[in-house]
Amino acid sequence: MAFLADALSRVKPSATIAVTQKARELKNAGRDIIGLGAGEPDFDTPDNIKNAAIEAIRRGETKYPPVSGIMPLREAIAAKFKRENNLDYKPEQTIVGTGGKHILFNALMATLNPGDEVIIPRPYWVSYPEMVALCGGTPIFAETSIANGFKLTPEALDKVITPKTKWLVMNSPSNPSGAAYSQAELRALADVLLKHPHVWVLTDDMYEHLTYGDFIFKTIAEVEPNLYERTLTMNGVSKAYAMTGWRIGYAAGPLQLIKAMDMIQGQQTSGTSTISQWASVEALNGPQDFIHKNKAIFQSRRDLVVSMLNQARGISCPTPEGAFYVYPSCADLIGKKTQQGKVIENDEVFASELLEEEGVAVVFGSAFGLGPNFRISYATSDALLEEACTRIQRFTASLV
- Domain's final residue, options 223, 258, 285: 285
321 and 208 inside one domain: no
pLDDT average, residue stretch 158-186: 98
258 and 118 inside one domain: yes
- The answer to whether residue 181 is domain-embedded is yes
Looking at residue 22, its pLDDT comes to 81
pLDDT average, residue stretch 131-150: 96
- The answer to whether residue 51 is domain-embedded is no
Number of domains in the chain: 2
Cα 320 to Cα 176: distance, rounded to the nearest angstrom? 10
- Domain's final residue, options 285, 306, 326: 285
- The answer to whether residue 197 is domain-embedded is yes
- The yes-or-no verdict on residue 191 having pLDDT over 80 is yes
Count of other CB atoms within 10 angstroms of residue 135: 21
Q: Is residue 400 very low, low, confident or very high in pLDDT (cuts 50, 70, 90)?
A: very high
Q: Is residue 289 very low, low, confident or very high in pLDDT (cuts 50, 70, 90)?
A: very high
CATH of the domain at 364: 3.90.1150.10
Looking at residue 38, its pLDDT comes to 82
- The answer to whether residue 18 is domain-embedded is yes
166 and 295 inside one domain: no
CATH of the domain at 178: 3.40.640.10
Cα 117 to Cα 113: distance, rounded to the nearest angstrom? 9
- The yes-or-no verdict on residue 304 having pLDDT over 90 is yes
230 and 319 inside one domain: no
301 and 279 inside one domain: no
Which uninterrupted H or E stretch holds 281? helix 274-285
189 and 307 inside one domain: no
pLDDT average, residue stretch 203-207: 98
150 and 256 inside one domain: yes
CA Rg, the chain, in Å? 21
Containing structural domain, residue 105: 63-285
Distance from the first to the final alpha carbon of the chain: 51
314 phi and psi, to 5 degrees? 85, 0
- The answer to whether residue 56 is domain-embedded is no
Q: Is residue 359 very low, low, confident or very high in pLDDT (cuts 50, 70, 90)?
A: very high
277 and 302 inside one domain: no
313 and 281 inside one domain: no
Cα 349 to Cα 178: distance, rounded to the nearest angstrom? 23
- The yes-or-no verdict on residue 192 having pLDDT over 90 is yes
- The yes-or-no verdict on residue 18 having pLDDT over 80 is no
- Domain's final residue, options 285, 314, 334: 285
Cα 110 to Cα 68: distance, rounded to the nearest angstrom? 14
**pTM of full prediction above 0.85:** yes
Which uninterrupted H or E stretch holds 24? helix 15-28
- The answer to whether residue 184 is domain-embedded is yes
Cα 356 to Cα 362: distance, rounded to the nearest angstrom? 11
267 and 300 inside one domain: no
Size (the chain), residues: 400
249 and 215 inside one domain: yes
Contact 94, 74 (CB under 8 A): yes
69 and 147 inside one domain: yes
